């Protein structure tokens, strides 16, 4: 393939920043020229409906994949947590670059932390995962569903519509807005969404040369971690619709590097939860995630909810 690679991206500030980061990697490591091609997705066009009503996971992904399969772009960049766990025909996840910090953060009025917010304070989030874990903390906050990009959500705090919002730290880091964070949440309090903070670079499976080139952007530790987290998600999706958080990290074990995986499934009100962790070889990331999720189902994760809104989105 010759000429500039056409990189498909959503048009939001965060998406184009993320795609610009990947474009820079392609230029630096592969020596290829890249041009960004903005693609509108249903999640971008419909800004009022809840993500669950739009179809949840995948609502930001399908238009980019269509553009790939139709040959309008050569590669596409997504937030990994937006990608459904079921593989898409004709499309390969060619690279998962080094992950940003996956934790959630609070942006609150007056520099407050979660624990400093008065009882009854309004906290905005559109994520069932965050709602359940916040409710489980028992802080007496009034949780309000909101949508919109990072700037829109932070503006709601500045304008006094809500007292605080919870966002992915990775998005603020990429946008250069970490100075607005008032608290970084410990995963003990708030486990992130599977894949949070990681980017996914996809291309057509038939473009074997490009698949091989893009593989040079892959980070092995990040790939192992998100593979384990997404295995938890895919296994639980089959038998459990409860909100879910998962985080895997490559850590130094007694016999070298190993993968440490934590996950939680909760009832919608946060009153019930199944929380488990496991470790295993980095090379067996998928098996580790599948095994942990199976253990969670055996411990009653499937009984937490009969129906829930869709998975989490940033």
CATH for 277: 3.30.160.40
Distance CA 143, CA 268 (A): 12
Looking at residue 234, its pLDDT comes to 94
Question: Are 149 and 112 in a shared domain?
Answer: yes
Q: What's the total number of domains in the chain? A: 3
Q: Within a domain: residue 177? A: yes
Q: Within a domain: residue 135? A: yes
CATH of the domain at 72: 3.40.190.10
What percent of the chain is modeled with pLDDT above 90? Answer: 81
Residue that wins the pLDDT comparison between 217 and 57: 217
Question: Are 131 and 80 in a shared domain?
Answer: no
Domain span at residue 80? Answer: 5-97+196-218
Mean pLDDT value of segment 111-137:
95
Mean pLDDT value of segment 142-161:
94
- For the annotated catalytic residues, the residue numbers are 82
Q: Within a domain: residue 311? A: no
Question: Are 23 and 161 in a shared domain?
Answer: no
Tokens standing for 42? 């249903």
Query: Does 220 have pLDDT greater than 70?
Result: yes
pLDDT in tens, 227-271: 999 999 999 986 677 899 999 999 998 889 999 999 999 998 999
Query: Does 306 have pLDDT greater than 70?
Result: no
pLDDT in tens, 52-62: 444 454 667 99
**Average of per-residue pLDDT values in the chain:** 90
Looking at residue 51, its pLDDT comes to 46
Query: Does 1 have pLDDT greater than 70?
Result: no
Question: Are 78 and 210 in a shared domain?
Answer: yes
Distance CA 275, CA 95 (A): 30
């Amino acid at each position: 393939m010759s000429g500039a690679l056409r990189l498909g991206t959503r048009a939001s500030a965060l998406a184009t920043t993320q795609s610009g980061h990947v474009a820079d990697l392609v230029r630096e490591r592969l020596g290829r020229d890249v041009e960004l091609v903005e693609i509108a997705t249903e999640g971008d066009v419909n800004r009022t409906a809840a993500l669950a009503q739009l179809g949840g996971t995948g609502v930001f992904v399908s238009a980019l994949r269509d553009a790939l399969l139709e040959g309008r772009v050569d590669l596409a960049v997504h937030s990994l947590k937006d990608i459904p766990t079921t593989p898409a025909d004709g499309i390969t996840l060619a690279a998962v670059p080094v992950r940003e910090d996956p934790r959630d953060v609070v942006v609150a009025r007056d520099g407050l932390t979660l624990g400093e917010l008065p009882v009854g304070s309004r906290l905005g989030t559109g994520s069932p995962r965050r709602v359940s874990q916040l409710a489980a903390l028992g802080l007496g906050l009034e949780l309000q569903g909101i949508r919109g990009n990072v700037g829109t959500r932070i503006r709601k705090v500045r304008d006094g519509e809500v007292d605080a919002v919870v966002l992915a730290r990775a998005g603020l880091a990429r946008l250069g807005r970490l100075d607005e964070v008032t608290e970084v949440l410990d995963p003990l309090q708030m486990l992130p969404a599977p894949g949070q903070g990681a980017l996914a670079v996809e291309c057509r499976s038939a473009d074997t040369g490009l698949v091989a080139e893009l593989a040079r952007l892959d980070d092995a530790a990040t790939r192992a971690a998100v593979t384990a987290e997404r295995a938890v998600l895919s296994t639980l999706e089959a038998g459990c619709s409860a909100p879910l958080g998962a985080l895997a990290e490559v850590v130094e074990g007694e016999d070298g590097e190993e993968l440490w995986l934590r996950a939680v499934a909760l009832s919608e009100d946060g009153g019930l939860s199944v929380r488990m962790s496991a470790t295993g070889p980095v090379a067996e990331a998928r098996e580790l995630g599948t095994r942990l999720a199976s253990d969670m189902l055996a411990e009653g994760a499937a009984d937490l909810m009969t129906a829930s809104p869709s998975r989490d989105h940033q």
